[in-house]
Every structure is written in structure tokens, then in C-alpha cells.
Amino acid sequence: MNALDTRIDGGSPTAPRAVAHAPHPTHTFKLLLKREFWEHKGGFLWAPLVAGGISLLLTLMAIVVGLIAARRAIADGDMEIDGVQVNGLDIGQLTSRMSAEDMAEMAQGLDLTLLLSSSWPFIVLGFVVFFYCLGALYDERKDRSVLFWKSLPISDTQTVLSKVASAALVAPIIAIGASILTMFVFMLMISTVVLMHGGNPVELLWGPANPLTLIGGHIAWIPVYALWALPTIGWLLLCSAWARSKPFLWAIMVPLFAGIFVSWFDLMELFNLDSSWFWANAVGRLLLGTFPAIDMAYRGGFDGANGQLDIAREMSAGNQLQTLAMPELWIGAIVGAAMIFGAIRLRRWRDEG
């Protein structure tokens, strides 16, 4: 028998055994992301979908009420357009009298309506990410599950970064999917109403509106959100890793009391700045970064006399990516990364025993 044969006389086998290799870090990180998703599926997936569904339900109710009110007005002879009494609800006939300028205004109104109707998942996103980060490291210490996870060959860096990626990328990507779905269902609902009342949905809705432009803006917004929310994510994770109890109060009260202290003693005058600068760039960036559209307020997207048109134009992909040129975004991202590093160190050495 050669050396590779297995001995049968009670001796140890000499055949080569398969060597157990450690899983690749990329594979481990994917598993951690899946773990975060399944443990928080209600907030990450169902919350934005339900929010979009509520938006559509309210839209349907508004459509029904509007149609009933319009039919009553027509029956009473109270509906007039340009001095001409309307005898029937024929959308095609009504819109045929619109000028090119009126059609342009209608297109801008459609874009704004699409944006507002699909914004509900983003509103929910802000709260989901905020409270997810706040409990991400605290809850595992509270229920002692941290002992199980620390017993696995998973580093603290991988664990914390998987939570950062879930908050900064996974949650907003799912919210964008829910928003796009809400937008298209909204368009189908309005198209059905137009079609039932003598109008051409392609000519009156899908042609003038710019849903693809809005979708492109949503997709371009993903890296903007990830970087803009990083200070808030880092601060909440730091509080989650540090606080022995009531992390919500620590996360909220420390920045608020710091702002009150700075305002009370006018400390920002030492740097020739107003106290409002501290509230906007310190307190606001620590507490409000998870809520979408906050970056628009910082870069003046809501300014101007023609506010509605500015909002619709601000959502284009080009304007979204302009935020990446803001120094405030990158300074905040660096500060957020430093706080995330602090959360990793605290998780490594924190002892609740």
C-alpha cells in the first residue's frame, strides 16, 4: 500500500484531508447585509411600501371626491372655463382649449405632483434609518446577542460597516424602488380617469410629464444621500455603542444642549459666525441627515419666487450630483467616518458585564 492509502489496522489515516478555508470577506459582508435586512425587513421593505400604498389610497379618495364635486358643479351649472359654461365632464374637450403655455404649466404641475405623490417612502426612510442606527449596537448589547456574534469569526469592523451600508445604501435603494412603483401606479390611476372621460393619457399625461427624468434623479441621489447622511449615521451609531441606557435621549439632548450653550454665550462670534451656523452645520447635520431633501435646503433648492418649478428642476440627475461638489458634504462625511471608527472601537471594548 502506498502512503496515500487509508490504514485499516487501527492507525491514523494518511489520506490528505480537505483544508477548511475561512470564508472570503466579501461573502461574509454579504451575509451580514442579508442578516440586517431580514432582521429589519419591516422597516426596510414594508414601511416604504405601506407608505406608498397610503399615498395611493389618499390619491384615489381625492380623485373620487373631485369627480363627485365636478359632476355636481356641472349639474348645477356652476362650472365655467374662460366664461364658457361646461355641460359635461369631457377632459379631451376641456384640454383642447389650452394654449401651449397652459400645457407647459400643466407639465410642470404633473412633475411636481408625481414628485409629491412618490415622496411618502422617502419620508418614512428618514425615520426608519434614524431609529435603526440608534438601536443597531445598543439592542444587541441589551439582549446579549452581542456575545453570540462576537463568538463568530466576524470582526467588529465588518459588523459595524454592514450596519452603515444597510442604513446608507440598502434602505434608500429599497425606498427608491417603492417610490418609483408608487409613481407609476399613480400615473396609471390618473390615466384611467383621463381615459374614462374622453381624454388621451399619452397626449395629456405621459407626453408632458417627465417620470423618467424624476427616476434618473432618484437614482443619482443614492450616493448623495449616502454621503450626506454619514454624520448622522456615525453619530447615532456612536451613541448606540456608548450609551448604557436611553440612547435616544443621549443622541438628541447632547447636540441640542450644545447648540443652546453656544447660542447662550455667543461662542460662534469668536469665529465671526452667527449661532445659526452652528445649529445648521453641527446640530442639524448630526440629527437631520437621514431625512431626504435636507441637502436641497442647504444648497438653496427651495429658494426663489418660482418655488414649485425650482423643486421639480432640482430633482434632475444633474442637479442631484451637483451636491457632490459641496465642501460641507465631504467635511461632514469625514466627521461621520471618524464617529463610525469610534463606534467600531467602542463595540470592540464595551463591556456591559
CA 196 to the chain's CA centroid: 35
Q: Which of 9-23, 48-62, 269-283 has the lowest mean pLDDT?
A: 9-23
- The candidate with the shortest Cα–Cα distance to 66, out of 194, 223, 221, 243, is 194
- Distance from chain centroid for Cα 329: 17
- pLDDT category at 343 given cuts 50, 70, 90 is very high
* CA of residue 62 relative to chain centroid, distance: 26
| Rounded Cα gap, residues 129 and 237, in angstroms | 11
Q: Look-up: residue for cell 451636491?
A: 323
Could you tell me the pLDDT band of residue 7, with boundaries at 50, 70 and 90? very low
Q: Answer whether residue 272 shows pLDDT above 80.
A: yes
Give the integer Cα–Cα distance in Å for 198 and 192.
10
- pLDDT at 306 > cutoff 80: no
The string of pLDDT tens digits covering residues 38-79 is 999 999 999 999 999 999 999 999 989 988 887 777 666 655
Task: Say which residue, 339 or 351, is predicted with more confidence.
Answer: 339
Residues 187/206, Cβ–Cβ less than 8 Å: yes
Answer whether 214's CB lies under 8 Å from 110's CB.
no
CA distances from 65 to 81, 93, 95, 225, 306 (A): 20, 22, 21, 37, 29
Residue 121, helix vs strand vs coil:
helix
pLDDT score of 200 more than 70? yes
pTM attached to this predicted model: 0.85
Q: How far apart (Å, rounded) are the C-alpha atoms in residues 206 and 204? A: 7
Our CA dihedral for 59, 64, 68, 73, rounded to 10 degrees, sits at: 20
